[in-house]
Amino acid sequence: MPVQVAIVGAGPSGFYTAAALMQADETCRVDIIEALPTPFGLIRAGVAPDHQSTKGVSRAFARTAQAPRVSFFGNVVLGRDIGLDELRGLYDAVVLATGAPLDRPLGIPGGESDGVYGAAAFVGWYNGHPDFCDLAPDLNTAAVAVIGNGNVAIDVARVLAKTPAEMASSDLAENAAAVIHKAPIQDITLIGRRGPVEAKFTNKELSEMGDLAECVPLVDPAQLPAEVDGDMSDRDRRLREKNLATLRGFSCRRPDEKRKRVHFLFYARPVEVLGDGRVRGLRLERTRVEGDRAVGTGEMFEIPCGVVISAIGYRMPPLPGVSIDERAGVVANRDGRVEKGLYVVGWAKRGPVGVIGTNKADGDVVAQQITEDMAENAAGDGRPGGAGLRKLLAKRGVNPVTFADWLRIEAAEVAAAPAGAPRRKLIRIKDMLAVVAQPAKAAAKS
Ligand code: NAP
């Protein structure tokens, strides 16, 4: 009997796992179960809308989804439409590929004020994720503070800084474009609690800030060390030196060069969001770096801003039936093994670090583990797999969105794209399902 595997989550870690399973076992069947009607997870709703080339990997994922032994069950929510225990009963192995979709809390006074947004919500909003399409951030401000020195922080700053013409070839959600492009933002401050050498930006993303049409990057040269000190690999040293060189270039730019400015502010730890229920500014403490840590100096200062976006990393939601390693914010696991028949990959396994391709190794590891465990336990002993899942969902009145259905949603988005853009995203589940229902209605009439 073929081994039946369910993968929960249709993002990069889920698809790399499906592809690895196809290779590792030439008979196994894989069902990918996804809460949204749309596949591809962070490729669709996390990767910046102006970084279309990064999204190209979804073509390989689509080929995996269309392989004869793979099925996509979209719009099926774990815990709402099907329980984890039920899945584990239906399949020989269940792989959690659910990512880390929640914002890490800022945890400072005022952090809940109006005008403070987490990057998961904010990025989800401008990328047309249905869970965040009604975020309606109030961007009617001249100054925005973005907390964090990772690629998500820089993505947010860039999307706020780019002109409509620069975003014309992106798939920025239309409702977000309307708000962002009429916002009177002039100053965006990117805040790092450590220094320029410790910043986690990749150089491509950092350099891009120097080439924007109407925004100039600025940094105080006094914050830039003369060289990269400390013990590290040659590769790390080269990458950090590259960032430092890019920042040195930024330190020579003039504030009046362009209409908008992005300020790189290092050695500053947010301690309070100021305002009376609505953001008016940030109080920060100057830091110095000791070892790997930012240590407060006790010196406080304030910057005015009307919006704070916190891009300080992501965490997992609780998953009923799964024990979470609270300290690491991941599913408790031993290199992907959770318990018998249950596995985890991607950010749910190792936390929110690494690029899209990092997930490939997770997929390879778990495919190997499943193959080994199944051989050992003589599993693949006739579990119902997808046929059982379909039956159970039908009994509950749940109609999964198939991959063919998704292709129709995609075709509708592409057909509606403004000139030069790859697609006009549908941002509401009901609108996606209306597209799926169209051919059925037409058929019913004829
Ligand atoms: P990240 O790279 O881990 O950056 C998080 C940033 O938040 C760090 O600068 C961190 O500072 C800071 N931070 C954490 N807690 C903080 C606090 N309490 N107060 C102030 N600052 C705090 O995470 P990310 O930007 O969310 O990105 C997640 C992963 O996705 C990364 O691996 C990233 O490279 C990847 N990604 C890649 C791309 C791309 O390739 N274009 C785009 C987006 C995301 P410390 O360093 O001091 O902890």
DSSP-assigned states of every residue in 383-421:
--HHHHHHHHHHHTT--PBPHHHHHHHHHHHHHTPPTT-
- pLDDT over 70 (residue 281): yes
Say yes or no: CB of residue 100 within 6 Å of ligand 1: no
> Measuring CA to CA, how many Å separate 148 from each of 315, 376, 390?
15, 46, 43
Q: How confident is the model at residue 446 (pLDDT cuts 50, 70, 90)?
A: very low
| Ligand 1 geometric centre to CA of 206 (Å) | 13
- pLDDT over 80 (residue 443): no
Among protein residues, the one with the nearest Cα to ligand 1's atom 16 is 312
User: What percent of the chain is modeled with pLDDT above 70?
Assistant: 97
Q: Which atom of ligand 1 is nearest to the CA of 46?
A: 43
> Measuring CA to CA, how many Å separate 240 from each of 172, 209, 244, 255, 357?
31, 17, 6, 25, 21
Number of H helices, E strands in the chain: 14, 19
Q: How confident is the model at residue 327 (pLDDT cuts 50, 70, 90)?
A: confident
Q: How confident is the model at residue 329 (pLDDT cuts 50, 70, 90)?
A: confident
Q: How confident is the model at residue 328 (pLDDT cuts 50, 70, 90)?
A: confident
pLDDT at 302: 98
Say yes or no: CB of residue 151 within 6 Å of ligand 1: yes
Give residues with Cβ within 8 angstroms of 435, minimum separation 6. 408, 409, 412, 426
pLDDT at 376: 77
25/374 Cα distance (integer angstroms):
11
| Ligand 1 geometric centre to CA of 13 (Å) | 19
| Ligand 1 geometric centre to CA of 367 (Å) | 29
Q: How confident is the model at residue 382 (pLDDT cuts 50, 70, 90)?
A: confident
Average pLDDT over residues 120-147: 98
Average pLDDT over residues 147-167: 98
- Whole-number average pLDDT of the chain: 95
Average pLDDT over residues 54-74: 97
Say yes or no: CB of residue 356 within 6 Å of ligand 1: no
More confident residue, 376 or 306: 306
Give residues with Cβ within 8 angstroms of 147, minimum separation 6. 106, 153, 191, 270, 308, 309, 310, 311, 312
| Ligand 1 geometric centre to CA of 147 (Å) | 10
| Ligand 1 geometric centre to CA of 236 (Å) | 16
pLDDT at 442: 57
107 dihedral zone (left: phi>0; alpha: psi -120 to 50; beta): left
pLDDT at 380: 60
- Our mutation pick for probing the ligand 1 site, out of 53, 287, 312, counting the most ligand atoms within 8 A of Cβ, is 312
| Ligand 1 geometric centre to CA of 389 (Å) | 38
| Ligand 1 geometric centre to CA of 149 (Å) | 6
Say yes or no: CB of residue 357 within 6 Å of ligand 1: no
257/307 Cα distance (integer angstroms):
24
Among protein residues, the one with the nearest Cα to ligand 1's atom 29 is 353
Among protein residues, the one with the nearest Cα to ligand 1's atom 21 is 148
Average pLDDT over residues 388-402: 98
Say yes or no: CB of residue 193 within 6 Å of ligand 1: yes
Q: Which atom of ligand 1 is nearest to the CA of 107?
A: 18
Say yes or no: CB of residue 312 within 6 Å of ligand 1: yes
Average pLDDT over residues 226-251: 95
For residue 125, give the nearest of 112, 114, 113, 139 by alpha carbon. 139
- pLDDT over 50 (residue 18): yes
| Ligand 1 geometric centre to CA of 290 (Å) | 19
